[in-house]
A and B are shown apart, each in its own frame.
Chain A
Amino acid sequence: MDLLRFITCGSVDDGKSTLIGRLLHDSAQLMEDQLAALESDSKRVGTQGQAIDFALLVDGLAAEREQGITIDVAYRFFSSATRRYIVADCPGHEQYTRNMATGASTADAAVLLVDARKGVLTQTRRHAAICKLMGVRHLLLAVNKMDLIGFDEGRFLEIAAEAEGLGIEQALPVSGLTGANVFEASADLAWFEGPTLMAALDALAPADVEDGGPLRLPVQWVNRPNQDFRGFSGQVAAGEVMRGQDVRVLPSGRTSRVARVLVGEREVERAEPGTSVTVTLTDEVECGRGSVIVGAAHPPEVADQFEASLVWLAEEELLPGRGYWLQLASQSVTATVQPPKYELGIDSGEHLAAKTLGLNAIGVVEFATDRPLVFEPYAASRTLGGFILIDKLTNATVACGMIHFALRRASNIHWQAIEVSREAHARQKGQKPCVVWLTGLSGAGKSTIANLVEKKLHALGRHSFLLDGDNVRHGLSRDLGFTEADRIENIRRVGEVARLMADAGLIVITAFISPFRAERAMVRRMLPPGEFLEVFVDAPLAEAEARDVKGLYAKARAGELKNFTGIDSPYEAPESPDLRIDTTTMSAEDAAEAIVALLLRRE
C-alpha cells in the first residue's frame, strides 16, 4: 500500500479537527478504549452536548481544549481500503501560521476547508498561497458545515466560484459533523455528483519522489572509524548512487568516483533516491558536512546570491542587512537580505512594496551568503531548494524560503584585479592595517577616547583615520534613521568604509554605539582575521545618563527621542571584547594609552 501525506487547513473554526476526527472514526481506526475516552471527554468538555465531539480526537492539548482552537499540528494515521495516510491537522489561527507551513512542507496534498456560512476568508487564501509556494501538488476544497446551510447547492456553487484562482483541483461539499460525503455519499447532498472526500483522496496520484535525474547526495556526516575507512553519509535526494559512478563534490568542484555504497552495514551495487547511504570515494578529495556529491555531468548551481520566496514565521520582523543562519540540506551559512522586492498581498494577489516582512508575511527577497551555496530551484528539488532561516541570537527558526534562481550578478561581477595589493599599501606605510572598533552606550566616552588614540598614533608617525558616529550621520548615512533596521544598515556601511580604508593600509578608529552583537560580528567577518579589534567602552547606564553630555538621555526619558539605546532600545554588550575599558576607574587618557599599547603589540 502506498502512502499519501496530506494536510487539512483553512481558517479557524471551519471544522478541520471535527472533520479529521470524523475521518478517523469512520475509517474504523479507533480502538475501543480510545472511543470510550472520546465519549467521556465529549460529555465533559465537548461542544456537542451529549453527542460525540470528534474535534477532541485531535485537539489533545489542554490549552487547545480551553480555547477551542488548534495550536499545533497533529499528525494522525489512518488507512482507506487502498492506501495509508498521514494527515497533519494544521491550525487555522493566524498566530500559528508557522505550524501550518510546517505541515505543508512535507505534504503531497491539502484539503482546504471553508465554513459554508462564511465562504472564502483571508486566512483561506493565505493557506492556499502557502500550499502553492510549498509545492503541495493537489489542493481540494472542502466546503464544510453544509448541514448548517440546509445542504444548499446554490451556496456551494457560490463558494466554489469564490475560490477560483486559488489553484483548487476539486471542490466538495461535506459535513464533518454529520459525516455527509466524507466517507459515505449522503441523501442530503443528492444533487452532488462528485466523489466523497475519501474517494477523492484515494484517487490522487501517489506520493511524488524525486526519482530520476542526476545524483544529489548532501553529505551529513563523515564516518571515520579508523584510518582505512572514510565514508560520507547522507540521504540520496535525487538520482541513484552506484558503485563506479563518476561524481563531483561541490562546492569544491573536485571529481572522483564512487568506490563503495553501504546501506547500513550491507554493501550494495546501487541505491535508490530516498535511501540513507554511506559512500566511499576513490580519491582523497575535500568533502565534509555541507558538501554535496553530485553526478559529474550535471552539477546544480553554486552561487552566493539568489532570489527566493520567503514566509516569515516570527513575531520579530525581518531585518534587512542582519546576518541570519541559513540552513539548506546539510549546509549552514550566514545570509543577509536586501529589503524585499515585494510582499504578496494575500487577498489581492498584488505585489506590494515592503521594507521588511512581519509575522506570516510572504515576500520575494534577494539573498547574499558569506560562502557559496549548493542549491537547485525549489521547483526541481524540495531538499536542495528549501531552506530555513535561524536568528543568530535566539536560535529561533524565523522563516522558510524557497529558492527561485541564482542571481547572475554573483557570477558576472568580478572583482577588479588591483595592481597595488593591500599588502603593498600597508608595506608602503610601514604598518599593519587595523580597525579599532569602539562600542558602548551614548555618553560612555567613545569619541573622546578615539580622538586621543588618533592623536597618539599621529605622534608616533602612524597613518590613521577616525570615523565618528555623528559625522557619518551627516553624510554617508544621512538617509538613515534610528530604527533597528536603519542602525544595522548604518553599521554595515561604516564597516564597508572601514574595510576599504584598511585595504588602503590605514589604522581606522571608529566610535559608534553599534548596539547589536550580530552587526559587530558582521564587520569582524568583513576583515581578515586579526584586523578587527573590538574595544568595549564600558560605562553603567546610570553613569552615562548622569553625564548626558549632549542632553540626549533627558530627551529620551521625556519621550522626545525614540529608539534610544539604553532607554527604549537594547544594548548588547560584547561577550569577549579584545579590550574592555572600565570608564568608572580609568581616565580617557589611560584608556587611549591602553588601546595604543594593544595596537603596538601587534606590530
Chain B
Amino acid sequence: MSRHQARPMALTHLDRLEAESIHILREVVATCRRPVFLYSIGKDSSVMLHLALKAFAPAPPPFPFLHIASGWDFQAMLAHRDAMASRYGLDLKVWHNAAAGLSPFDTPTPTYTRVMLTEALREALKAGGYDAAFGGGRRDEEKARAKERIFSFRGQGGGWDPKLQRPELWNNYNARVHAGESIRVFPLSNWTERDIWDYIAREAVPIVPLYLAAERPTVMRDGTLLMVDDPARFPGIEREEVVTRRVRFRTMGCWPLTGAMESEADSLDKVLAEMAALRTSERQGRVIDRDESASMEVKKREGYF
C-alpha cells in the first residue's frame, strides 16, 4: 500500500487554497466562542465571503458580518454590501464612529485612519464581545503582512505584538484565549493577488463593479487619481476640472484616499491580462500606506487589522 502514488485527479492550486481556507474558517467556528467576519467589501473579503458560504453549506455562515463604515465609503461598495447581505441572509452589523466623524480631507491621514478605522474597529469588536475576527489579509500584500500568522494573537485592546505570536505548526491552530484577548484570523494568508483574481473568475464571485474599468468622473490630486464619488463632500472640487476617464480600482478603501488607475480592463479576462503586465503593486494606490516605511506595522500594533 503506497501512501504516495500519483493520482490523475489531483487538486489544482486554487482547489488547495480553497480547501485550506475552508479548514481555517471551520476551525474558528468549532473552537471560538464568538467569531465575527470583518466585511470590508473589497475583492479579498468577497472571496472570503464566498468561501464562508461554501464552508458551512447547507447551513448559512454561523457568525455575524461586521462592516466598519468610515462614512467615506464608495457608494457602490455600500450598495454591494447590502445586496450581498440580502441575497445570502447575512447577519450584517454596521459600525460607524459618528461621534468623531473626521473627514480625510481635513485630517492628516494617519490620524484619520486611526480614529475612523482602527479605533472604530477596536470599539466594535469590544462591544460585540468577539473573541475571534476573520480578516481578508494576504501575506503577499506588504512586508508586515508577510510576517503574519494565520491565527494572529491580540492582547487586551487588540494590539499586535510580533514577539508574542504563537508558533503555528502544520495546520494545527491554537485558538485559546483569556477574557479580553482575541485572535484575528486570516484564511487568505497564502493567496496572492493573482490567485484572488483567478478564483473570482473561476467561481464567478460577485465583486464591486468599481474593480472593472468604466467611464468615471475623476480629478488628479497630488499624483493620485481620485474618483469624485460624492461632489457635495469633495472640498475645492468646484475650482477643479472634473475629467471623465476610463478607470478602475485595484483595492477599495475610503474614496478620498484610494487612487484609481486608467484602464481598459472592463472584464475579468482583461483584468487578468492587465495584471500580468503591471509593474506596480496593488497597494500603490493606497494613500494610507505611504505615511512611513513601517506604517502597516504601526497600524497593526495599534489594533488595525
Our pick among A60, A220, A275, A327 for the contact of B11 (Cβ within 8 Å) is A275
Complex interface: chain B residues within 8 A of A233 (CB): 26, 55-56
Is the Cβ of B294 less than 8 Å from the Cβ of A220? no
Given A274-B16, A276-B55, also A211-B23 (CB < 8 A): no
Is B40 part of the contact surface with A, judged by Cβ < 8 Å? no
Given A74-B147, A289-B30, A386-B169, also A220-B9 (CB < 8 A): no
| Chain B interface residue count, Cβ-Cβ cutoff 8 angstroms | 64
Which stretch in B91-99, B159-167, B260-268 binds the other chain? B159-167
Is B176 part of the contact surface with A, judged by Cβ < 8 Å? yes
Is the Cβ of A3 less than 8 Å from the Cβ of B170? no
- Mostly helix, strand, loop or mixed at chain B's interface? loop
The minimal Cβ–Cβ distance linking A494 to chain B, given in whole angstroms, is: 29
Segment 196-210 of A: residues with Cβ below 8 Å from B: 208-210
The minimal Cβ–Cβ distance linking A390 to chain B, given in whole angstroms, is: 6
Complex interface: chain B residues within 8 A of A390 (CB): 174, 176
Is A603 part of the contact surface with B, judged by Cβ < 8 Å? no
Is the Cβ of B30 less than 8 Å from the Cβ of A212? no
The minimal Cβ–Cβ distance linking A28 to chain B, given in whole angstroms, is: 10
Is A330 part of the contact surface with B, judged by Cβ < 8 Å? yes
Complex interface: chain B residues within 8 A of A214 (CB): 1
When C-beta atoms are compared, the residue in chain B nearest to A383 turns out to be B170
Which stretch in B72-80, B118-126, B136-144, B213-221 binds the other chain? B136-144
Is B293 part of the contact surface with A, judged by Cβ < 8 Å? yes
Which interface residue of B22, B142, B144, B189 has the most chain A CB atoms within 10 A? B22
Is the Cβ of B143 less than 8 Å from the Cβ of A58? yes
0/1 interface trace, chain B 275-305, chain A, CB 8 Å (1 if under): 0001111001000000001100110000000
The minimal Cβ–Cβ distance linking A213 to chain B, given in whole angstroms, is: 5
Is the Cβ of A75 less than 8 Å from the Cβ of B190? yes
Segment 173-229 of B: residues with Cβ below 8 Å from A: 174, 176-178, 189-190, 192
Our pick among A32, A41, A212 for the contact of B1 (Cβ within 8 Å) is A212
Is the Cβ of B7 less than 8 Å from the Cβ of A223? no
The minimal Cβ–Cβ distance linking A241 to chain B, given in whole angstroms, is: 13
Is the Cβ of A275 less than 8 Å from the Cβ of B190? no
Given A32-B280, A382-B170, also A212-B5 (CB < 8 A): yes
Our pick among B4, B170, B280 for the contact of A386 (Cβ within 8 Å) is B170
Is the Cβ of B23 less than 8 Å from the Cβ of A235? yes
Is the Cβ of B13 less than 8 Å from the Cβ of A84? yes
Is B172 part of the contact surface with A, judged by Cβ < 8 Å? yes
- Cα-based distance from A37 to B296 in the complex (angstroms): 14
- Cα-based distance from A73 to B10 in the complex (angstroms): 29
Is A482 part of the contact surface with B, judged by Cβ < 8 Å? no
Complex interface: chain A residues within 8 A of B4 (CB): 208-212
- Cα-based distance from A500 to B207 in the complex (angstroms): 66
Given A77-B139, A289-B30, A400-B169, also A72-B190 (CB < 8 A): no
Is the Cβ of A77 less than 8 Å from the Cβ of B192? yes
A-B contacts counted at CB < 8 A amount to 189
Is the Cβ of B162 less than 8 Å from the Cβ of A211? no
When C-beta atoms are compared, the residue in chain A nearest to B16 turns out to be A274
Is A387 part of the contact surface with B, judged by Cβ < 8 Å? yes
Is the Cβ of A212 less than 8 Å from the Cβ of B189? no
- Cα-based distance from A314 to B19 in the complex (angstroms): 31
Our pick among A72, A75, A211 for the contact of B189 (Cβ within 8 Å) is A75
Is B18 part of the contact surface with A, judged by Cβ < 8 Å? yes
Is the Cβ of B11 less than 8 Å from the Cβ of A274? yes
Given A264-B57, A289-B30, also A33-B167 (CB < 8 A): no
Given A58-B143, A265-B57, A274-B19, also A102-B168 (CB < 8 A): yes
Is the Cβ of B147 less than 8 Å from the Cβ of A60? yes
0/1 interface trace, chain A 489-505, chain B, CB 8 Å (1 if under): 00000000000000000
- Cα-based distance from A235 to B22 in the complex (angstroms): 8
Complex interface: chain B residues within 8 A of A238 (CB): 3
0/1 interface trace, chain B 42-66, chain A, CB 8 Å (1 if under): 0000000000011111111000000
Is the Cβ of B189 less than 8 Å from the Cβ of A330? no
Is B15 part of the contact surface with A, judged by Cβ < 8 Å? yes
When C-beta atoms are compared, the residue in chain A nearest to B292 turns out to be A62
Is the Cβ of B146 less than 8 Å from the Cβ of A99? no
Complex interface: chain A residues within 8 A of B149 (CB): 102
Is the Cβ of A325 less than 8 Å from the Cβ of B11? no
0/1 interface trace, chain A 272-283, chain B, CB 8 Å (1 if under): 101110100000
Is the Cβ of A380 less than 8 Å from the Cβ of B23? no
- Cα-based distance from A233 to B22 in the complex (angstroms): 10
Is A61 part of the contact surface with B, judged by Cβ < 8 Å? yes
- Cα-based distance from A4 to B225 in the complex (angstroms): 39
- Cα-based distance from A555 to B177 in the complex (angstroms): 39
Is the Cβ of B170 less than 8 Å from the Cβ of A62? no
Given A73-B147, A275-B15, A383-B170, also A41-B10 (CB < 8 A): no
Complex interface: chain A residues within 8 A of B167 (CB): 98-99, 101-102, 313, 388, 397, 400
Is A180 part of the contact surface with B, judged by Cβ < 8 Å? no
Is A122 part of the contact surface with B, judged by Cβ < 8 Å? no
Is A121 part of the contact surface with B, judged by Cβ < 8 Å? no
Is the Cβ of B166 less than 8 Å from the Cβ of A396? yes
Which interface residue of B57, B190, B278 has the most chain A CB atoms within 10 A? B57
Our pick among A77, A328, A388 for the contact of B174 (Cβ within 8 Å) is A388
When C-beta atoms are compared, the residue in chain A nearest to B151 turns out to be A397
Is A416 part of the contact surface with B, judged by Cβ < 8 Å? no
Complex interface: chain A residues within 8 A of B178 (CB): 395
Segment 98-145 of A: residues with Cβ below 8 Å from B: 98-99, 101-102, 105-106
Is the Cβ of B172 less than 8 Å from the Cβ of A265? no
Complex interface: chain B residues within 8 A of A558 (CB): none
Our pick among A41, A61, A229, A388 for the contact of B169 (Cβ within 8 Å) is A388
- Cα-based distance from A389 to B3 in the complex (angstroms): 27
Is the Cβ of B30 less than 8 Å from the Cβ of A330? yes
Is A506 part of the contact surface with B, judged by Cβ < 8 Å? no
Is the Cβ of B174 less than 8 Å from the Cβ of A395? yes
- Cα-based distance from A390 to B176 in the complex (angstroms): 9
Is the Cβ of A106 less than 8 Å from the Cβ of B297? no
Is the Cβ of A220 less than 8 Å from the Cβ of B280? no
Given A276-B55, A325-B176, also A61-B162 (CB < 8 A): yes
Is the Cβ of A101 less than 8 Å from the Cβ of B23? no
Segment 215-233 of A: residues with Cβ below 8 Å from B: 220-221, 223-225, 229, 231, 233
Is the Cβ of B55 less than 8 Å from the Cβ of A213? no
Is A34 part of the contact surface with B, judged by Cβ < 8 Å? yes
Complex interface: chain B residues within 8 A of A265 (CB): 53-54, 57-58
Our pick among A34, A86, A263 for the contact of B281 (Cβ within 8 Å) is A34
Complex interface: chain A residues within 8 A of B190 (CB): 75, 86
Complex interface: chain B residues within 8 A of A397 (CB): 166-169, 174
Cross-chain pairs A/B with CB under 8 angstroms, 9 sampled: A44-B293, A86-B190, A209-B4, A212-B5, A212-B7, A238-B3, A274-B15, A275-B19, A276-B19
4 A-B pairs besides A221-B29, A275-B15 with CB distance below 8 A are: A58-B143, A60-B294, A61-B143, A212-B2
Residue numbers of A with Cβ under 8 A of B are 1-3, 31-34, 37, 41, 44, 57-58, 60-63, 65, 71-77, 84, 86, 98-99, 101-102, 105-106, 208-214, 220-221, 223-225, 229, 231, 233-235, 238, 262-265, 272, 274-276, 278, 289, 313, 325, 327-330, 380, 382-383, 386-388, 390, 395-397, 400
Q: Nearest 7 pairs between A and B by C-beta? A: A60-B143, A264-B54, A225-B59, A276-B22, A265-B57, A395-B176, A31-B281
